[in-house]
A = this chain, B = another copy of it.
Amino acid sequence: MRIALLQLNPVICDFRRNAHRIAQAAEDAFAQGADICITPELAVMGYPPRDLLLNPKIIENSLHAVKWVAQRTANLGPLLLGAPMGCKGNEGFLANGAFLLNKGKIEACFGKTLLPSYDVFDEQRYFTAHESPGFFDFLGRRIGVTICEDIWNDKDFWEKRRYSVDPVQILADQGVDLILNMSASPFSLGKQKIRLAMLEALAIKYKVPLLFCNQVGGNDDLVFDGRSTAVNERGQITAAGMEFEEDVLIVDLESPERNHVQVHDYSRESETWKALVLGIRDYMAKSGFARALLGLSGGIDSALVAAAAATAAGPENVTGVLMPSKYSSPGSIDDSLELAASLGIRTMNIAIESLVKAYDHSLMPVFLRISKDVTEENIQARIRGNLLMALSNKFGWLVLATGNKSELALGYCTIYGDMCGGLAPLSDTPKTLVYSVARWLNRSEKEVIPRQIITKPPSAELSPGQKDRDTLPDYEVLDQILQMHIEQHLPAEEIIARGFDSDTVFAVISMVKKAEFKRRQSPPGIKITDQAFGTGWRMPLASICSVVTKK
């Protein structure tokens, strides 16, 4: 039997486009000899559709799209298609479903059993859980159907389980010969290794092959890495799809040597880079931007965003804007120009000194005899933000904000200033990772990012001789503390116990808390780590967080 995994990149609720793409991929797969096709989770809508699921008209359109795909593939062969479906006997409630289409009809329906409601997931907001997973018989095999989270609850694999039911065990007890998993499993660093280990463990435990069909593409803050995979009953990988791009992966169960096994690169740098490029590309394409612009400061963050944007959209579609002030070092300008030349992107130069003076002048009467402080630094950042937005408004280009996760965590950034933008690609990329991705980009002979941008000490250049290290702990230390605090949710005491300076730890945690209001108004970012400041980070603003207070 040959099963095709349609690893597709949907546009949220663009039913016409998604349905066409599914039909096209199915046609391709059947032409290659597939016996049956399966799509990722909710493939007809794209994942996550979020509150569009609450709109009855959209659910109606989704059902139309399912029927359209059924018609279009009627003469090809069976297709298991992910889409929301009504709950039997539960009028007005939805299940996260799968439709088995065959000969133009819906032959069977299946529903998701485990509904994730943590981090970026809100499935209990939208769906009613099925009590148990289902199966169907095809070409002499009993095939179990699971949807994403359904396979993520094995009691032996996980130290702590989230749910009491295990759909995989239920299916195994029912004697299935094969388990399909339709997923929209978002990327984060190292995630695929966990998926593979889990698939292997499940396959061996139940002596059953598993086929994981994943969505690919960027949808707002989430990037889906694809990497659809088949494992046999001994847990061995028998097929593996492309990473970070669409694929039609045909899994021949009898002759696995015929399958494609794509080699994936699991280095942090490669994964981050690919996620950034795909995240930018799809955010632009799916929200209708052909071009982007960003401020070039001569620093590492804007250099990496420029490089990723140039790769995502083509260098001819990216404009770097230099906005020097009297605090800008000559190096910053030269480095920016060298970067732009290296990437092949266009530049503009708008000096901000006259604008700074105009603000100084306008505010003089109210700021009389008050000494300068962070206010004047923020004014500069907001002038730059205003200029970038003006260019965006005038030319219809997307502004990319360039701040990294370490800055966003601490609030070392100006709201309405350098935080301006439609997308902030590095929001979940810590500063130390920004550096290592930049070095990795330069790994071959060609220097993509001029070396001095990587080697000079980071500076916001908002006051004379300013350096990040004057205000912040060393990034190597800082990023470790942030990782423990934000991703591992460790209390201060635990971080200190691991050998970090107590004052630094409390200062960092306190800064993180105080910057919550800035993050609330930040542009969407691209999730890279286990815990991003995006839809999966839901903190109150007006609160006193007792763990911050140093005893």
Q: Does A453 contact B (CB under 8 A)?
A: no
**How far does the Cβ of A424 sit from chain B's closest Cβ, in whole Å?**
10
The interface residues of chain B lying within 8 Å CB-to-CB of A502 are none
Contact call B385/A366, Cβ cutoff below 8 A: no
**A219 adjacent to chain B (CB < 8 Å):** yes
Residue of B nearest to A47 (CB): B540
Q: Which of A349-365 contact B (CB under 8 A)?
A: 350-352, 354-355, 357-359, 361-363, 365
Do A52 and B539 have beta carbons less than 8 Å apart? yes
List the one stretch of A78-86, A199-207, A436-444, A543-551 in contact with chain B.
Answer: A543-551
A13 contact from B354, B393, B544, Cβ within 8 A? B544
Across the interface, A416 reaches (CB within 8 A) one of B91, B118, B386, namely B386
Inside 8 A of A385's CB, which chain B residues have their CB?
A: 382, 416
Residues of B close to A387: CB separation below 8 A = 359, 362-363
Q: Would you call A378 and B362 a contact (CB within 8 A)?
A: no
Q: Tell me whether A136 is interfacial, beta carbon within 8 Å.
A: no
Query: At the interface, yes or no: A428 with Cβ under 8 Å from chain B?
Result: no
Q: Which one, B11, B361, B416, B542, contacts A389 given CB within 8 A?
A: B416
User: Which of B117, B352, B391, B541 meets A366, CB within 8 Å?
Assistant: B391
CA distance A547 to B14 in the complex (A): 10
Selected contact of A48 from candidates B56, B386, B540, CB within 8 Å: B540
Tell me, yes or no, whether A264 is within 8 Å of chain B by CB: no
Q: Nearest chain B CB to A550's CB is how many angstroms away?
A: 13
Q: Which of A230-238, A281-289, A464-472 is found at the contact surface with chain B?
A: A281-289
**Interface presence of A187 (CB below 8 A):** no
Q: Interface-forming stretch among A66-74, A174-182, A521-529?
A: A521-529
**Is A105 an interface position by the 8 A CB rule?**
no
Q: Which residues of chain B have C-beta atoms less than 8 A from A389's C-beta?
A: 378, 382, 415-416
Q: Does A141 contact B (CB under 8 A)?
A: no
B50, B352, B382, B390: the one contacting A540 at CB < 8 Å is B50
Q: Is the CB of B390 within 8 A of A13?
A: no
The 0/1 profile, CB within 8 Å of B marked 1, for residues 335-352 of chain A is: 000000000000010111
Residue A170 lies at the interface, judged by CB distance under 8 Å to chain B? no
**Interchain CB contact under 8 A, A12 and B287:** no
Distance (whole angstroms) from the CB of A323 to the closest CB of chain B: 9
| CB atoms of B355 and A546 under 8 A apart | no
Q: Out of B61, B286, B542, which one reaches A282, CB within 8 Å?
A: B542
User: What does the 1/0 interface line of A491-528 toward B look like (CB < 8 Å)?
Assistant: 10100000000000000000000000100111110000
User: For the complex, what is the distance from the CA of A528 to the CA of B362, rounded to whole Å?
Assistant: 37
Contacts known (A379-B390, A491-B55, A542-B283); A359 close to B355, Cβ less than 8 A: yes
Which of B52, B56, B379 is the one whose CB lies under 8 Å from A543?
A: B52
User: A152 at interface (Cβ–Cβ under 8 A)?
Assistant: no
A368 to chain B minimum Cβ distance, whole angstroms, is 11
Q: Is the CB of B362 within 8 A of A56?
A: no
Is B521 in contact with A541, judged by CB distance below 8 angstroms? no
With A386-B416, A420-B416 known as contacts, the answer to whether A55 contacts B352 (CB < 8 A) is no
Mark interface residues in A362-392 (1 if CB within 8 Å of B CB, else 0): 1101110010011100110011011101110
A220 CA / B541 CA spacing, docked (Å): 6
Contacting B at CB under 8 A, from A43-72, are: 46, 48-52, 54-58, 61
Q: Residue A394 contacts which of B357, B373, B416 (CB distance < 8 angstroms)? A: B373
Chain B neighbourhood of A370, CB < 8 A: 394
A330 lies within 8 A of chain B by Cβ: no
Q: Is the CB of B219 within 8 A of A540?
A: yes
Asked if A412 CB lies within 8 Å of chain B CBs, one says no
Min C-beta distance of A49 to chain B, whole Å: 7
Q: Which residues of B contact A92 (CB under 8 A)?
A: 160
- 7 new A-B contacts, CB < 8 A, other than A14-B543, A49-B543, A220-B542, are A54-B489, A57-B547, A287-B517, A354-B361, A416-B416, A416-B420, A520-B524
Pairs of residues from A and B, 9 with the lowest C-beta to C-beta distance, nearest first: A12-B543, A286-B542, A358-B358, A14-B544, A57-B491, A375-B393, A287-B542, A124-B124, A416-B416
8 A-B residue pairs with Cβ-Cβ distance under 8 Å, sorted by A, are A13-B546, A54-B489, A350-B363, A357-B358, A359-B390, A378-B390, A382-B382, A382-B416
